[in-house]
Amino acid sequence: MNRRDAILSTAALLAAARAATPRGAFAQGNTTPEVRRATLGFIALTDSAPLIIARERGLFAKYGMPDVEVARQASWGSTRDNLVLGGARGGIDGAHLLTPMSYLIHTGRIVQNNQPVAMTITARLNTNGQGISVAAKHQALGARLDAAPLRRALNADSKVAMTFRGGTHDLWVRYWLAAAGMDPERDVSTIVVPPPQMVANMRVGTMDAFCVGEPWNAQLVTQRLGYTAAVTGEIWKDHPEKVLSLRGDFVQANPRAAEAITAAVIEAARWCDVPANKVEMCDIIGRRAWLNVAPADILGRMRGEVDYGDGRRTTNTDISMKFWRDHASYPFRSHDLWFLVENMRWGVLPTNLDTAPLLDAVNREDIWRAAAARAGVPNAETPTGRSRGRETFFDGRVFDPENPQAYLDSLTIKRLAAA
């Protein structure tokens, strides 16, 4: 099966899987999970907190799944490999995942032999909370939200790191560079580095900049190896980030368990966003079993307190990481569409991709709504629609989910690919 056939066949694959899933399972009635156990992967990033807190505070058990394991993954590549393997074969059933990866696995784009593996998104884990960091040797140039000053120092051999091709960090750093007139395919060399290894790689002097989630941008500043040019909430306020993503066959076989896992994560997300819980949350996720980072190095940015490392300090909770506030947990379909279009921009996905059936198959906001009701979420905290509407970026560009082609056409720097 070639790439085009794999991608185009995905809609039929997931439509069949979704049709086979009993929709009544997500309505009132029997809520006892079909299984007590599942294995969920996580990467050592602060936005994995809802999974960690759900495990540490006994929330999976509360919803009938006491044997859920939250297992550390070495990289996004290993997370993908273990999702493809699946929990029944010693891999994992779901994960804290970069939003686009759910679609890239689902279409087979990043799977060996381009074989699709059905995936679902049942919740967003966070908005905001990532950063673009620059090596200390370039600090005098003054690149911040505007990356243009770096044009004097970077060339095709300059290393700009992100965490996975086509993932969120890849897209943020590409957008930032392209907005300043730099082509990330030609003017720099983008490389993949696992999140926990970003600071160590910067220390040896082989990288010029990177984009990653916290706490690694803050760690870079603490170790005086570089500075934060911009936090990603400045690029796109309340942008979507990670998701709770489950294998499609797990959801199909265990719809009540999928709802229970999602309900536990929703309750954890609400807890994480209570200001009075921030210290305890950072103490928990900073433990050796989880991030293995001093809680003090996590807490500041979780409170919206940013030391950029270049003399700027600010407190802005409105663009800090959100787990629940402003509908952060709800998986807006319009946000998933932007990721698909942006990956078309950079040639990761073909421009003739039929996005509607793909979104229908992967984005299971119906599970989120059922799980939210089960978790006691008031109606006032539940979005009324599946779209957040038009989105505006820091450079004034607008993405209208009703007309994604207009957005794609408006971009001057891009690398479109045919099927």
CATH of 130-236+308-313, one of 3.90.1150.10, 3.40.190.10, 1.10.3720.10, 3.40.470.10: 3.40.190.10
Contact in structure between 140 and 395 (CB atoms under 8 Å)? no
Output the pLDDT for position 30: 87
> Which residue carries 């990603």 as its tokens?
232
Q: Which residues pair with 190 in a beta bridge?
A: 160
Burial class (CB in 10 A: 0-12, 13-18, 19+), 402: exposed
Nearest to 232, CA basis, from 145, 322, 333: 145
User: Would you state the pLDDT for residue 418?
Assistant: 75
CA dist., res. 369 & res. 375, Å (int): 10
Both structure tokens of 250: 């797990």
Distance CA 397, CA 2 (A): 35
Rounded CA-CA distance 147/316 in Å is 21
Q: Supply φ then ψ for residue 97, to 5 degrees.
A: -140, 145
CB atoms within 10 A of CB 89: 8
Query: Minimal CA–CA distance to 73: which of 55, 53, 48?
Result: 48
3-state secondary structure of 12: helix
**Assigned CATH class of 3-127+239-273+322-410:** alpha beta
What is the per-residue DSSP string for 99-128? HHHHHHHHTTTTSGGG----EEEEEE--BS
Work out whether the CA dihedral 339, 344, 345, 351 comes out positive or negative. Answer: negative
- Given the DSSP bridges, would you call strands 242-247 and 94-98 parallel, antiparallel or unpaired? antiparallel
Exposed/middle/buried for 360, CB within 10 Å: 0-12, 13-18, 19+?
middle
Two tokens at 72? Answer: 């550390």
Q: How far is 336 from 386, CA to CA, in rounded Å?
A: 11
- Which amino acid is present at 225? L
Please give the Cα distance from 127 to 326 (Å, whole number).
9
* pTM (two decimals): 0.93
- Using N-to-C axis directions, what is the helix angle for 168-179 and 99-106, rounded to 10°? 110
- One DSSP character per residue, 381-403 reads GS-SSS----EE-TTS-EE-TT-
Query: How many angstroms separate the CA atoms of 69 and 41, rounded?
Result: 8
If phi over 0 gives left and psi between -120 and 50 gives alpha, with beta otherwise, what is residue 212?
A: beta
- Cβ neighbors of 306 (< 8 A, separation 6 or more) are 228, 231, 300, 312, 313, 314, 315, 316
Tokens of 263: 């309900």
Please indicate whether the domains covering 3-127+239-273+322-410 and 130-236+308-313 agree at the CATH topology level. yes
Q: Do 240 and 323 touch, CB atoms closer than 8 A?
A: no
- DSSP H helical ranges for 21-113: 49-56, 59-62, 76-85, 99-106
Domain boundary assignment for the chain: 3-127+239-273+322-410, 130-236+308-313
The partner residues of 309 in beta bridges, in order of sequence, read: none
CB half-sphere exposure, 156, CA atoms < 13 A: 2
CB proximity list for 184: less than 8 A, separation 6 or greater: 160, 173, 174, 177, 178, 190, 346
Spatial distance between the Cα atoms of 347 and 354, rounded to a whole number of angstroms:
15
pLDDT in tens, the chain (419 residues): 454 444 445 444 444 444 444 444 444 578 999 999 999 999 999 999 999 999 999 999 999 999 999 999 999 999 999 999 999 999 999 999 999 999 999 999 999 999 999 999 999 999 999 999 999 999 999 999 999 999 999 999 999 999 999 999 999 999 999 999 999 999 999 999 999 999 999 999 989 999 999 999 999 999 999 999 999 999 999 999 999 999 999 999 999 999 999 999 999 999 999 999 999 999 999 999 999 999 999 999 999 999 999 999 999 889 999 999 999 999 999 999 999 999 999 999 999 999 999 999 999 999 999 999 999 999 999 999 999 999 999 999 999 999 999 999 999 999 998 76
